[in-house]
């Protein structure tokens, strides 16, 4: 019987509600497939600021490093929204990414036929959308130094630095090409090479890496054009790679294609072992959604899909991951809806009811 240590960081807003369902999903999988999942939990984000004055404590980061995987809810909310505050909830998330060396963020986006009505785009544009966006996560303008605010000659100014080195770019490129090989063999690299030096290096390194993957078709797209293409021809994309900042922006845009942000998982991974497995952090992309926090109406499906990714990438349990993904798909096919994915007049379920419906369908 295999044992896995799952470190749970529910965070803020709807984070605790959905991570509780993620834990139940893993328990259900453990029972059915005879694995043991041990859970430990700690505070992150606003909850940690309230309790400890920092967005994440050093001992929490240490504990996270020792785990098989981190299940993460969401951080942030109006209570901690002051952008000039020295301590902000998002710092917890950024510290986890950086300290755990999670340099690749995988965000799969699929348009579910049953949910196309809840997207702002036409069904004929959405048909066939199935892409994997891989965002670089521990470098670029998020972490480059200097990053500071200062007063010079009595005038406020601020500086951010967009830094990349070739190793940071090459490993994302390799991951993208390898993923494309397993899929439709197309890779789109997003940059702003017509303006930024860091993007010109990005493009140069991606082209060098491409030589090792002659079977994959590579296209370069400038980020501004990409925002248009994602709306005009979203089904033409297979695997997309982008730096930290551009990846942040285009994945929010791409999430619209999936019908609801409440459906989309993400995995943050570092350098994997020989077996293709490694420590990862799994987090729905919907965020803390303070407007619906505590109401029991949040969609748990993104979190379920996160736990499936956790089973796949950190535990090596592919069958179990598919069982969970299958259960989510069956619940959606059976017409079960939380408010965010319901058409007008459709009956809606709360978080717990939806989760129960999925868990009943595991292995069905």
3-class SS string, 300-331? CHHHHHHHHHHHHHCCCCHHHHHHHHHHHHHH
Pairing of β 3-11 and β 36-41: parallel
Closest CB to ligand IPM among 93 and 132?
93
CB of 303 to Mg ion, least distance (A): 17
Q: Tokens 């994915």 label which residue?
A: 341
**Which of 253, 216, 211, 208 is CA-nearest to residue 231?**
253
Closest CB to ligand IPM among 170 and 261?
261
As to burial, measured by CB atoms within 10 angstroms (0-12 exposed, 13-18 middle, 19+ buried), residue 5 is middle
CB of 40 to ligand IPM, least distance (A): 23
Euclidean distance between CA atoms 129 and 127, whole angstroms: 6
CB of 310 to ligand IPM, least distance (A): 17
CB of 90 to ligand IPM, least distance (A): 4
Q: Tokens 């490993």 label which residue?
A: 171
The interface partner of residue 90, options being ligand IPM, Mg ion, none and the CB cut-off 5 to 8 Å by kind, is ligand IPM
CB of 261 to Mg ion, least distance (A): 10
Please answer whether residues 210 and 220 qualify as being in contact, where contact means their C-beta atoms are separated by less than 8 angstroms.
no
Closest CB to ligand IPM among 30 and 76?
76
The interface partner of residue 93, options being Mg ion, ligand IPM, none and the CB cut-off 5 to 8 Å by kind, is ligand IPM
* Residue with smallest beta-carbon separation from Mg ion: 248
Torsion of CA 99, 101, 103, 107, to 10 degrees: -80
Closest CB to ligand IPM among 14 and 93?
93
**Which of 361, 362, 351 is CA-nearest to residue 73?**
351
The interface partner of residue 356, options being Mg ion, ligand IPM, none and the CB cut-off 5 to 8 Å by kind, is none
CB of 117 to Mg ion, least distance (A): 25
Closest CB to ligand IPM among 242 and 359?
242
The interface partner of residue 291, options being ligand IPM, Mg ion, none and the CB cut-off 5 to 8 Å by kind, is none
Binding residues for Mg ion, rule: CB under 5 A, are 248
Q: Tokens 């420590």 label which residue?
A: 279
| Structural Rg of the chain based on CA atoms | 20
* Residue with smallest beta-carbon separation from ligand IPM: 90
**Which of 77, 127, 72 is CA-nearest to residue 259?**
127
Binding residues for ligand IPM, rule: CB under 6 A, are 90, 93, 248
> What residues are paired with 106 via a beta bridge?
134, 267
For the chain, how many residues are written?
364
Output DSSP code: residue 342.
P
Q: Which residues are catalytic?
A: 142, 192, 224, 248, 252
Euclidean distance between CA atoms 9 and 95, whole angstroms: 13
| Alpha-carbon distances, residue 275 vs 132, 155, 286, 308, 312 (angstroms) | 21, 54, 30, 18, 12
Closest CB to ligand IPM among 5 and 253?
253
């Amino acid at each position: 019987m295999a044992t896995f240590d799952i470190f749970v960081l529910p965070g803020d807003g709807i984070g605790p509600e959905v991570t509780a369902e993620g834990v139940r999903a893993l328990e259900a999988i453990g029972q059915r497939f005879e694995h043991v999942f041990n859970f430990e939990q700690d505070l992150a984000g606003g909850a940690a600021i309230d309790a400890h004055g920092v967005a994440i404590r050093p001992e929490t980061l240490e504990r996270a490093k020792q785990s098989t995987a981190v299940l993460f809810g969401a951080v942030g909310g109006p209570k901690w929204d002051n952008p000039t505050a020295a301590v902000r909830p998002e710092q917890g998330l950024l510290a986890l990414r950086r300290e755990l060396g999670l340099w690749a963020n995988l965000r799969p986006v699929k348009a579910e036929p049953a949910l196309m009505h809840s997207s702002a785009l036409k069904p004929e544009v959405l048909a066939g959308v199935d892409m994997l966006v891989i965002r670089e996560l521990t470098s670029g303008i998020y972490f480059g130094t200097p990053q500071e605010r200062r007063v010079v000659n009595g005038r406020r100014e601020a500086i951010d630095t967009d830094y990349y080195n070739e190793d940071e770019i090459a490993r994302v490129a390799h991951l993208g090409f390898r993923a494309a090989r397993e899929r439709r063999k197309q890779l789109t690299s997003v940059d702003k090479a017509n303006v930024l030096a860091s993007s010109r290096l990005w493009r140069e390194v991606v082209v060098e890496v491409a030589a090792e993957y002659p079977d994959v078709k590579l296209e370069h797209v400038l980020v501004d054009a990409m925002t248009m293409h994602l709306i005009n021809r979203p089904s033409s994309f297979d695997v997309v790679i982008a730096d930290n900042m551009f990846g942040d922006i285009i994945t929010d845009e791409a999430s619209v294609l999936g019908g609801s942000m409440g459906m989309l998982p993400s995995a943050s991974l570092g350098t994997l072992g020989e077996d293709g497995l490694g420590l990862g952090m799994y987090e729905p992309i919907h965020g803390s959604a303070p407007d619906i926090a505590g109401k029991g109406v949040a969609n748990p499906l993104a979190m379920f899909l996160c736990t499936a990714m956790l089973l796949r990438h950190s535990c090596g349990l592919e069958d179990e991951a598919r069982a969970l993904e299958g259960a989510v798909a069956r619940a959606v096919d059976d017409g079960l809806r939380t408010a965010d994915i319901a058409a007008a007049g459709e009956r809606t379920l709360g978080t717990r009811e939806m989760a129960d419906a999925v868990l009943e369908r595991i292995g069905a």
